[in-house]
Amino acid sequence: MLGDAVYPDKVGGSWRFLHDMAEGLSARGHRVDVLVPKASPGLPERQLLDGFTLWRYGDANKGPASQLRLAMALRRQMLALSKEEWDLINYHFAWPSVASIPMPEASLMSVPLIYTFQGPWCEEYLSTLRGIHMKPLQQTGIRISYRLRRDMEGRLLRRCRQILVLSNFSREILRRIHGPGLNVTVMKGGIKSESTAVHLTKYEARRRLGLIKDGRIIFTVRRLSPRMGLDVLIESILLLQRRLSDIHLIIGGRGESQTELQRLISRHGLDNIIRLEGFIPEDKLALYLRAADLVAMPSLELEGFGLVSLQAMMNGTPVMGTPIGGNRELIGSLDKRLLFRGLSPHMLAEGMADFFTHRSDYPSADEVLDFYNNNYNWDMVLNDWENAFIAIAASSGGLQL
């Protein structure tokens, strides 16, 4: 498996998914090697981590030549491992393909390639730049960078035996960007649950975090980026607190929009009811999800699946989200009333006001937890992915079914 990072080197949904998949398959007797760039200096180049072998390449330094050095380091690592009889190679990110494809070594020529597609690299790159004023020369550079990302991802996708996505939305956007002639299969997403917070009451979780005992807490954890819609969520709280008392919003995460979001909060005089919590470590995230009355997913675009929504559900907390991408499939399949009617602050405020005013009409904590256990239980998800991998390897003369 090749990715741009892996948990615990970095914390995020896609990196946790890669880790848990590697760990789960290893526990079932498969040999799994994971190759990622070194996230920070001092990390070991080779490590046995939770049953799989983690290979970190590169020097974690930044600079004009860093990408070239990284590509060369990956290629050396792939060549060193090329004598292994791999049954398949699974990409979780497109960039590693620049160094690892094509590999002329005979032992790798016939190995089937699989791409786990969690979002369009080129489109996500553009989304981080929206709203930023740029000079013509900068705009030209961005267009070139966009095309390079799109072309690199497209070349990898066309070479893959199978492309696995986590939602119908991801399949549609993939085909829109890269064409309809790709072999795409929709799979369920998931992560391994190690949370004991689900056994706590909401008030016990709040006590452990030092949060208010009473009052309504809305929580979200996102990359602080324009496409996440956090500015719209803040504006909606301004409207919501005029209708309901004791409303509090906690926003977890880091990103390029942090300063702008804090200014927006202060400009509206909401510092007492909205706070930016910053980075939340994995061992505390479940407590926040359990302590909340509601988790909000205000994404404006490119929401491929939403592992945070799944983490909230595994802790018994309802999620309300915009009708964007994977939100429709995950949140909407639990209860369509949990989808906001639109993307405006008014629509978000209206949806949350109805949720709190008519709480008994919405799924209870037990119903949310049952939905997760019946549809996204990790063993169930892992079974499906393992069977898909085995079938692809077997079709190439590798593993036998």
The residue with greater pLDDT, 186 or 105, is 186
Same domain for 184 and 225, yes or no, is: no
Verify that 82 and 212 share a domain, yes or no: no
115 found inside a domain:
yes
Q: How far apart are CA 92 and CA 96, in angstroms?
A: 9
Higher pLDDT, 360 or 100: 360
113 and 33 housed in the same domain: yes
Q: How many structural domains is the chain composed of?
A: 2
Lowest-confidence region among 40-44, 171-175, 273-277, 397-401: 397-401
DSSP 195-240: --GGGS-HHHHHHHHT--SSSEEEEEE----GGG-HHHHHHHHHHH
Asked if 121 and 209 sit in the same domain, the reply is no
Tell me, yes or no, whether 3 lies in a domain: no
163 shares a domain with 201: no
Q: What is the pLDDT of residues 107-128, one digit of tens each?
A: 566 789 999 998 887 777 776 6
Please report, as a single letter, which amino acid is at residue 131.
G
Residue 348 domain-assigned (yes or no): yes
Which tens digits make up the pLDDT trace of 228-276?
999 999 999 999 999 998 999 999 999 989 999 999 999 999 999 999 9
Residues 140 and 230 in one domain: no
> At CA 99, angle to CA 94 and CA 101, rounded to 5?
75
Handedness of CA 386, 389, 394, 399 (dihedral sign): negative
The sign of the dihedral angle between the CA atoms of 303, 150, 33, 47 is negative
> If pLDDT is split at 50, 70 and 90, which confidence band does 401 have?
very low
Q: Distances in Å between the alpha carbon of 90 and those of 84, 193, 386?
A: 15, 23, 12
User: Is 210 in contact with 292 (CB distance < 8 Å)?
Assistant: no
Work out the number of other CB atoms within 10 angstroms of the CB of residue 271. 10
Same-domain check for residues 142 and 222:
no
DSSP E strands, 72-192: 89-91, 113-117, 162-165, 184-186
How many other CB atoms are there within 10 angstroms of residue 387's CB atom?
A: 11
**CA-to-CA distance for 375 and 372, rounded, in angstroms?**
5
Share of the chain above pLDDT 70, in %: 93
400 within domain boundaries = no
117 is a domain residue: yes
DSSP of 293-311, one letter per residue? Answer: SEEEE---S-----HHHHH
Residues 128 and 213 both lie in one domain: no
User: Quick one: 248 and 142 in the same domain?
Assistant: no
The runs of H, that is alpha helices, within 46-90 are: 66-81
Q: Are residues 236 and 291 in the same domain?
A: yes
Range of the domain at 348: 197-375
- Is 137 in the same domain as 56? yes
Q: Are residues 40 and 155 in the same domain?
A: yes
pLDDT of 143 strictly over 90: no
| Residue 145's CATH number | 3.40.50.2000
